[in-house]
């Protein structure tokens, strides 16, 4: 692990707090614990990289706490819950949650989900910090939402405007230049960016991006497809 991530655990079952803290600490995470919502609010001063939050707590429950803090807490919030209905999942997302883990959980699955959410969060931060990406003849101007090629004397040549969805898909592929990005990874990345596409919509957007790349003079296969695996540049 290249850096030490801080995780805040909020759960009113002490046995679960102790178990989770031990498992996460053994993986190299810095762990803070809170036994209720009030303690959780106090522990926010640790500036966590992730919050694991139980939904069914006495007093203020996890959904209400999430909704209360989401306006000023930017880190991922993952719910721990025994509830499994679709409406519960929707309620969690509407409250500002990023994911959920169903109790009882197995340690390998829990740790894998936590690592995946932290990875997606890091990618989202990378997106926010960049304004342009240059890849050979292609320049992606994130601030203006356009792609263009440059002439030999470094002047802008043909350019095309991108929609928000097209911009984020192309940005993800450029961030991983030379690597195959699966369709599922693309969809998860877009969900992190508050873009909710399904598999069919991803295909439509990919076709449009390829068309716009062709418009500015780049080859038809600038974005390549690896059948059964994903896309790469």
Domains and CATH numbers, the chain: 6-124 (3.40.50.2300), 130-232 (1.10.10.10)
Locate the DSSP E strands across 38-124. Answer: 50-54, 77-81, 99-102
The structure tokens listed for 20 are 């989770």
Query: Does residue 108 sit in helix, strand or coil?
Result: helix
Assign 1 a pLDDT band (cuts: 50, 70, 90): very low
**Residue 127, pLDDT above cutoff 70:** no
In angstroms, the CA 219 to CA 87 distance is 45
Other beta carbons within 10 Å of 57: 21
pLDDT at 103: 83
How far is CA 75 from its chain centroid? 10
Any residues with CB less than 8 A from the CB of 57 and at least 6 apart, and which? 10, 11, 12, 36, 37, 65
CA atoms lying within 13 Å on the CB side of residue 6: 11
- CA 180, 182, 186: angle at the middle one, nearest 5? 110
pTM of the predicted protein model? 0.56
Please state the rounded mean pLDDT for residues 17-26.
Answer: 94
Summarize pLDDT for 175-211 with one digit per residue, the tens.
Answer: 889 999 999 888 887 876 667 778 888 999 999 999 9
CB 29 within 8 A of CB 4: yes
Q: Rounded to the nearest 10 degrees, how much is the dihedral formed by the CA atoms of 24, 73, 66, 79?
A: -30
Q: Which of 63, 79, 24, 72 is nearest to 45 (CA)?
A: 72
Any residues with CB less than 8 A from the CB of 231 and at least 6 apart, and which? 173, 180, 181, 183, 186, 206, 223, 224, 225
Question: What's the mean pLDDT when you consider all of the chain?
Answer: 86
Summarize pLDDT for 60-76 with one digit per residue, the tens.
Answer: 999 999 999 988 888 89
pLDDT at 209: 96
Q: What's the start-to-end Cα distance of the chain, in Å?
A: 27
In angstroms, the CA 59 to CA 35 distance is 11
Q: What is the DSSP-derived secondary structure letter of residue 91?
A: H
In angstroms, the CA 12 to CA 14 distance is 6
User: Do the bridges between strand 146-150 and strand 138-141 make them parallel or antiparallel, or are there none, so unpaired?
Assistant: antiparallel
Summarize pLDDT for 135-171 with one digit per residue, the tens.
Answer: 888 999 988 899 998 755 555 578 899 998 899 899 9
Q: Which residue has the tokens 């540049």?
A: 233
């Amino acid at each position: 692990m290249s850096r030490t991530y801080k995780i805040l655990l909020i759960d009113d079952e002490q046995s679960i707090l102790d178990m989770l803290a031990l498992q996460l600490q053994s993986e190299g995470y810095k762990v803070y614990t809170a036994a209720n919502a009030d303690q959780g609010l106090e522990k926010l001063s640790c500036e966590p990289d992730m919050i694991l939050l139980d939904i069914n707590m006495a007093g203020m429950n996890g959904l209400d706490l999430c909704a209360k803090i989401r306006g000023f807490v930017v880190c991922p919030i993952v719910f721990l819950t025994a509830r499994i209905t679709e409406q519960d999942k929707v309620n969690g997302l509407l409250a500002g949650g990023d994911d959920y883990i169903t109790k009882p959980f197995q340690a390998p699955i829990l740790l894998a989900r936590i690592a995946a959410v932290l990875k997606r969060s890091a990618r989202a931060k990378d997106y926010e910090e960049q304004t342009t990406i240059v890849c050979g003849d292609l320049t992606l101007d994130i601030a203006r939402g356009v792609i263009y090629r440059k002439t030999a004397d470094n002047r802008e040549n043909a350019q095309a405007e991108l929609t928000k969805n097209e911009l984020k898909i192309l940005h993800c592929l450029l961030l991983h230049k030379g690597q195959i990005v699966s369709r599922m990874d693309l969809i998860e990345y877009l969900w992190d960016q508050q873009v909710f596409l399904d598999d069919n919509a991803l295909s439509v957007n990919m076709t449009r991006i390829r068309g716009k790349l062709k418009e500015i003079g780049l080859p038809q296969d600038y974005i390549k497809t690896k059948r059964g695996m994903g896309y790469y540049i």
